Amino acid sequence: MDVLGPFWTRISAEVPLPLEVLVGAAVAALVVVASPALWRPARTVVTIAHEGAHGLVALGTGRRLAGIRLHSDTSGLTVSAGRPTGPGMVLTLLAGYVGPGLFGLGAAALLATGHAVGVLWAVLGLLALLLLQIRNFYGLWAVLVTAAVVLGVTEWLPPTGQAAFAAGVTWFLLLAAPRTVLELQGARRRRAAPGSDADQLARLTRVPAVVWVGLFLLVDLAALALAASWLLVV
């Protein structure tokens, strides 16, 4: 208890975020998402969230998680064992492209209640769980580097700096999620993604893949709009 008490006080500390900080974080995240030079390395963070969402839902629906791989081209693969059809498989496939947006929405809920520091510790907890399932060297490196950055922020920045960083991460996930869906559809138009989540869902459900792409985009845009209403509307 002597250890847990101060730790809990630290991660549950309420740090108010002025509107100008939230707006500045949103602008910074938008620059990263819109800039080709910055987007390429930052996209790995979205892949981590994407594959992590697959893994969480696979476990939540009773499937056995066999491992997660992250690749240097920012693609990823989550392998789970269980029925090849049915609701569990559908939900697992559905989770990937909506995962980053929903993670961002959850982070926005914490920001809106003043628990910005808690966002960073929640990220560290999820990264620790993901690390147990990584099955390739690049994936291990990517998760460890991401965790090291977040841990460094929690150790070296004051609470206000941690809160601003958490806001940036939140906006990045919210803004990056729709872009990845648009990239998916672009790849599908070029016939470069025949095994995409949307195409696998189409084969499982007989609902056209473009409908699933539209659903991904709708969920991600709704998460962005809802988070913005929580954080930016005075």
The first and second tokens of residue 81, run together, are 């064992």
Assign 158 to helix, strand or coil.
Answer: coil
The first and second tokens of residue 60, run together, are 């939540």
Distance, C-alpha 20 to centroid of its chain: 24
Query: If pLDDT is split at 50, 70 and 90, which confidence band does 96 have?
Result: very high
User: In terms of Cα–Cα distance, which of 85, 81, 154, 79 is closest to 121?
Assistant: 154
Q: Where are the domains of the chain?
A: 17-231
Per-residue confidence (pLDDT) for residue 10, from 0 to 100: 74
CA angle 122-123-126, nearest 5°? 85
User: In terms of Cα–Cα distance, which of 75, 44, 17, 49 is closest to 196?
Assistant: 75
Rounded distance between C-alpha atoms, residue 169 and residue 166, angstroms: 5
pLDDT tens readout for residues 1-38: 556 667 677 777 788 899 999 999 999 999 999 999 99
Residue 212 has pLDDT above 90, yes or no: yes
Query: If pLDDT is split at 50, 70 and 90, which confidence band does 234 have?
Result: low
**H-assigned helices in the chain:** 4-11, 19-34, 36-60, 87-112, 116-131, 137-156, 159-189, 197-205, 209-231
